[in-house]
């Protein structure tokens, strides 16, 4: 029966219906320029990346992970890290963490003017071997060395715990594994720990279990962030479960930038727009200009030569110019 | 850092993490052959629809809304309702409701052998006018007449309450409006009431408010179902909120069949596969063979000449043949 020709008015918005028991305020940690672009097949020009970051700033993002100082042969998509940092003028009140894989990357990041660092560890031996050519504990020791050196220079450090909800080779991951990694990173001085569902397999009950295990192992709830991929459509219900568990920071990628090489799917990171829709509906003031963000992601999809994967972007793109 | 060439093993599955406070059991109400296909641009042959229904049965669906007995000029996609019913052999233990818009449609449905009926009402005057050329209460009276006639023949009736979470013309919809419609349909004898977010704008806090208002107005929680569209990516977080509110029946469409004409988006109904992933992760035994369902939706997308919109289907399609 749902068949009406009358066009809908432009730019719908969610109604505001707050919910009991959720955190007072939440933060969005934008990972599009780093985690998003590194997973795209197309290598984007530095000037386009710069425009992306500037548009994200204008849309209201207050934390933007800018790039990664990994060896260019590992991630050619981000080989221009120094050039991007040199071209970019930091905006007052916005944080720009950069990812570094080791002490050499840290030296590069510091030389480029980075003021905030992120490191990555693995919850599984298979991913540690595949991604770091190391064991879990070897990769952790390496990350801790970076954390300690960065802290000695007064740089805040975020720790990513990868494959915290499942692993493409090992399958299920016990919540105690990411919890142990989070505790070690916290003890080393990380001020933020992002638990990552790198392949997007996690579901809502698991979120409570993984967060609970991390807190039980010694990471403070306030320091925890959650990083979801939407590979199986679960990212936003997992955010809701995370809010219900008291988590206050969520990673997202404008337009859903970034694929998922493990699952061979085009749907990667949780789209920032879809997250903003949920949060605004729950009564949070995200400070994001959704129209500006949708326009940015639509433009960026054109740069990548493909349709945006964000549901909100696809629905609103025709209304936003 | 998430860059590994090693291929992932086939057919990942969610880990099982039950969650406290959710219903003991839930039902999936498959709407793909009716609500899905009526919103697709391509008109599908009866033989293909029959194969779709048979494949859904083999995948484990226990409720499949089969078609609609609306005038063919309204919904040409479902003009073959009689032919489909004649060609289809009902399977033991499976329910096959059909949608009817009025008493004439009910007569057609009964003549075709329908054993279960569904009717639709509106939460807003704008949608009532656009879809039924009627007022809210005029459309309700019409639906109640169908419910009473069907009940007199011993046919169970489901009532759909459209635009229960927002309206493309009116914007916000007060929860009291769908609650009043639900109460009237319950009083008329509907044994199931599906509250529909027809344009997909609703968010998680709103789900609790809409369900709460419906129960407060006299519809039993056990009779309520929720019908979400994924236009803005909110469908699955809304399902989670619905589970938390105690709702035990959720509508979904295989592969996400069906667009959303109001939002001009390709993303319509919540995809059954994405719902199954969530429910299985929460420990529910859905009885669904996910590989068979993914294969069905992949095949159906080929019939429609487009990519499937379900995240799970897109991620698993290359693993399932």
- How many Å apart are CA B248 and CA A196, to the nearest integer? 30
- Single out the catalytic residue among B260, B278, B309, B316: B260
Query: Are the C-beta atoms of B140 and B129 separated by less than 8 Å?
Result: no
pLDDT of the residue at B3: 45
Query: Are the C-beta atoms of B259 and B40 separated by less than 8 Å?
Result: yes
pLDDT tens track for A212-245: 999 999 999 999 999 999 999 999 999 999 999 9
Helix (H) or strand (E) holding A98: strand A98-99
Q: How many CB atoms neighbour CB B257 within 10 A?
A: 31
- How many Å apart are CA B192 and CA B31, to the nearest integer? 15
B320 against B303, higher pLDDT: B303
> What is the b/e burial string over B175-202, where b = at least 16 CB atoms within 10 angstroms of the residue's CB?
bebbbbbbbbbbebebbbbbbbbbbbbb
Res. B263: pLDDT tops 70: no
Paired sense of beta strands A157-162 and A192-197, if any: parallel
Helices (H), B112-265: 125-132, 136-152, 176-188, 204-216, 235-244
What global pTM score does this model have? 0.95
Res. B266: pLDDT tops 80: no
Residues from chain B that touch A201, judged by Cβ atoms under 8 A, are 12-15
Measure CB to CB from residue B206 to each of A132, A281, A314 and give the nearest one. A281
pLDDT of the residue at B265: 54
pLDDT of the residue at B9: 53
Per-residue confidence band for A9, with pLDDT thresholds at 50, 70 and 90: low
- How many Å apart are CA A110 and CA B172, to the nearest integer? 50
Per-residue confidence band for A56, with pLDDT thresholds at 50, 70 and 90: very high
Structural domain that includes position A47: 27-316
- How many Å apart are CA B188 and CA B142, to the nearest integer? 12
Any domain includes B143? yes
- Which class for A246: exposed (0-12), middle (13-18), buried (19 or more C-beta within 10 A)? middle
Give the residue from chain B lying closest to A282, CA to CA: B205
pLDDT of the residue at A319: 56
Res. B321: pLDDT tops 50: no
- How many Å apart are CA A161 and CA A165, to the nearest integer? 10
A–B interface: beta-carbon pairs under 8 A: 261
* CA neighbor of A101 nearest in space, from A121, A76, A115: A121
> Which letter does DSSP use for residue A167 in this model?
B
Per cent of chain A over pLDDT 90 is 87
CA distance A92 to chain B (A): 28
pLDDT tens track for B78-124: 999 999 999 999 999 999 999 999 999 999 999 999 999 999 999 99
Any domain includes A18? no
pLDDT of the residue at B132: 93
- How many Å apart are CA B317 and CA B321, to the nearest integer? 7
pLDDT tens track for B133-145: 999 999 999 999 9
CB–CB contact B2 A169 (8 Å): no
pLDDT of the residue at B59: 98
CA angle A280, A282, A283 (to 5 degrees): 65
Measure CB to CB from residue B205 to each of A17, A239, A266 and give the nearest one. A17
pLDDT of the residue at A244: 98
Any domain includes B306? yes
pLDDT of the residue at A309: 86
pLDDT tens track for B214-224: 999 999 999 99
Phi, psi (degrees; rounded to nearest 5) at A112:
-85, -5
pLDDT tens track for A141-176: 999 999 999 999 999 999 999 999 999 999 999 999
CB–CB contact B8 A165 (8 Å): no
Any domain includes B9? no
Q: Give the DSSP letter string of A28-40.
A: EEE-IIIIIHHTS
Res. A14: pLDDT tops 70: yes
Give the residue from chain B lying closest to A120, CA to CA: B1
Res. A300: pLDDT tops 50: yes
Residues from chain A that touch B280, judged by Cβ atoms under 8 A, are 203
CB–CB contact B204 A311 (8 Å): no
pLDDT tens track for B233-262: 999 999 999 999 999 999 999 999 987 555
CB–CB contact B39 A237 (8 Å): no
pLDDT of the residue at A72: 93
Any domain includes A123? yes
CB–CB contact B17 A206 (8 Å): yes
Per-residue confidence band for A266, with pLDDT thresholds at 50, 70 and 90: low
Largest CA distance in chain B: 65
Q: Does residue B75 sit at the A interface (CB-CB below 8 Å)?
A: yes
pLDDT tens track for B149-158: 999 999 999 9
Helix (H, G, I), strand (E, B) or coil at B36: helix
pLDDT of the residue at A265: 54
As for the ipTM of the complex, it is 0.94
pLDDT tens track for A70-120: 999 999 999 999 999 999 999 999 999 999 999 999 999 999 999 999 999
pLDDT of the residue at B267: 64
Any domain includes B227? yes
**Mean pLDDT of all residues in A126-140:** 96
CB–CB contact A3 B131 (8 Å): yes
CB–CB contact B12 A39 (8 Å): no
Res. B320: pLDDT tops 80: no
Tell me which residues of chain A, numbers 232 to 271, contact chain B at a CB-CB cutoff of 8 Å: 232-234, 236-237, 239-241, 260-267, 271
- Which class for B264: exposed (0-12), middle (13-18), buried (19 or more C-beta within 10 A)? middle
CA distance B110 to chain A (A): 19
Average pLDDT across chain A, whole number:
93
Cα dist from A135 to A71, A122, A125, A168, A171, whole Å: 20, 9, 6, 17, 17
Q: Does residue A13 sit at the B interface (CB-CB below 8 Å)?
A: yes
How many domains would you assign to chain B? 1
Per-residue confidence band for A321, with pLDDT thresholds at 50, 70 and 90: very low
CB–CB contact A74 B3 (8 Å): yes
Q: What is the CATH number of the domain that holds B175?
A: 3.20.20.70
Any domain includes B261? yes
pLDDT tens track for A26-39: 999 999 999 999 98
Give the residue from chain B lying closest to A279, CA to CA: B203
Tell me which residues of chain B, numbers 172 to 191, contact chain A at a CB-CB cutoff of 8 Å: 172-173
Helices (H), chain A: 37-38, 46-58, 81-87, 103-111, 125-132, 136-152, 176-188, 204-216, 235-244, 272-281, 290-304, 311-316
Query: Are the C-beta atoms of A126 and A136 separated by less than 8 Å?
Result: no
Any domain includes B135? yes
Per-residue confidence band for A2, with pLDDT thresholds at 50, 70 and 90: very low
> Which letter does DSSP use for residue B80 in this model?
T
Measure CB to CB from residue B9 to each of A165, A169, A266 and give the nearest one. A169
- How many Å apart are CA B126 and CA B136, to the nearest integer? 9
Q: Does residue A8 sit at the B interface (CB-CB below 8 Å)?
A: yes
Measure CB to CB from residue A130 to each of B4, B204, B234 and give the nearest one. B4
CB–CB contact B19 A205 (8 Å): yes
Residues from chain A that touch B290, judged by Cβ atoms under 8 A, are none
pLDDT of the residue at B202: 97
Q: Does residue B94 sit at the A interface (CB-CB below 8 Å)?
A: no
CB–CB contact A1 B101 (8 Å): yes
Q: Left (φ > 0), alpha (ψ -120 to 50) or beta: where does A218 sit?
A: left
- How many Å apart are CA B152 and CA B146, to the nearest integer? 10
């Amino acid at each position: 029966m749902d068949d009406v020709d009358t066009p809908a008015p432009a730019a719908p918005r969610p109604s505001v219906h707050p919910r009991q028991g959720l955190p007072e305020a939440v933060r969005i940690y934008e990972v599009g320029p780093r985690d998003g672009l590194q997973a795209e097949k197309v290598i984007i020009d530095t000037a386009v990346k710069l425009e992306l970051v500037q548009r994200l700033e204008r849309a209201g993002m207050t934390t933007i992970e800018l790039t990664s100082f990994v060896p260019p042969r590992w991630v050619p998509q981000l080989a221009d890290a120094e050039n991007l940092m040199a071209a970019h003028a930091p905006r007052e009140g916005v944080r720009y963490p950069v990812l570094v894989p080791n002490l050499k990357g840290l030296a590069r990041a510091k030389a480029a003017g980075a003021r905030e660092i992120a490191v990555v560890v693995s919850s599984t031996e298979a991913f540690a071997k595949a991604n770091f050519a190391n064991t879990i504990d070897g990769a952790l020791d390496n990350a801790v060395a970076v954390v300690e050196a960065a802290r000695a220079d007064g740089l805040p450090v975020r720790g990513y715990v990868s494959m915290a909800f499942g692993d493409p080779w090992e399958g299920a991951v016990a919540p105690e594994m990411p919890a142990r990694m989070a505790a070690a990173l916290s003890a080393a001085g990380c001020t933020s720990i992002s638990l990552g569902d790198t392949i997007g397999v996690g579901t809502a009950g698991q979120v409570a279990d993984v967060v609970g295990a991390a807190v039980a192992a010694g990471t403070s709830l306030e320091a925890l962030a959650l990083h979801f991929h939407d590979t199986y459509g679960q990212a936003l219900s997992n955010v809701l479960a995370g809010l219900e568990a008291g988590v206050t920071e969520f990673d997202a990628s404008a337009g859903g930038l970034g694929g998922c090489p493990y699952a061979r799917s085009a749907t990667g990171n949780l789209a920032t727009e879809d997250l903003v829709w949920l949060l605004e509906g729950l009564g949070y003031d995200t400070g994001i200009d959704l129209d500006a963000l949708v326009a940015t992601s639509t433009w960026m999809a054109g740069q990548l030569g493909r349709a945006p994967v964000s549901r909100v972007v696809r629905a609103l793109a025709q209304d936003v110019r």
